[in-house]
Amino acid sequence: EAGVTQFPSHSVIEKGQTVTLRCDPISGHDNLYWYRRVMGKEIKFLLHFVKESKQDESGMPNNRFLAERTGGTYSTLKVQPAELEDSGVYFCASSLGDSKTQYFGPGTRLLVL
Q: Least distance to another protein from the beta carbon of 53, Å? A: 13
What separation, in Å, do the N-terminal and C-terminal C-alpha atoms of the chain show? 37
Is the CB of 12 or the CB of 16 nearer to another protein? 12
76, β-bridge pairs: 22, 68
Report in angstroms the alpha-carbon separations of 66 from 40, 54, 62: 24, 11, 9
Is the CB of 3 or the CB of 16 nearer to another protein? 3
Is the CB of 8 or the CB of 16 nearer to another protein? 8
| Whether 103 contacts 47, CB under 8 Å | no
How big, in percent rounded to 5, are the helix, strand and coil portions of the chain? 5, 50, 45
Query: Which spans of this chain sit near another protein (rule: CB under 8 A)?
Result: 4, 6, 31, 33, 35, 37, 40-45, 48, 50, 56, 59, 91, 93, 95, 97-107
Let me know if 18 is exposed, middle or buried by CB neighbors in 10 A (0-12, 13-18, 19+): exposed
Is the CB of 4 or the CB of 19 nearer to another protein? 4
Q: Least distance to another protein from the beta carbon of 44, Å? A: 7
Q: Least distance to another protein from the beta carbon of 41, Å? A: 6
Q: Least distance to another protein from the beta carbon of 58, Å? A: 8
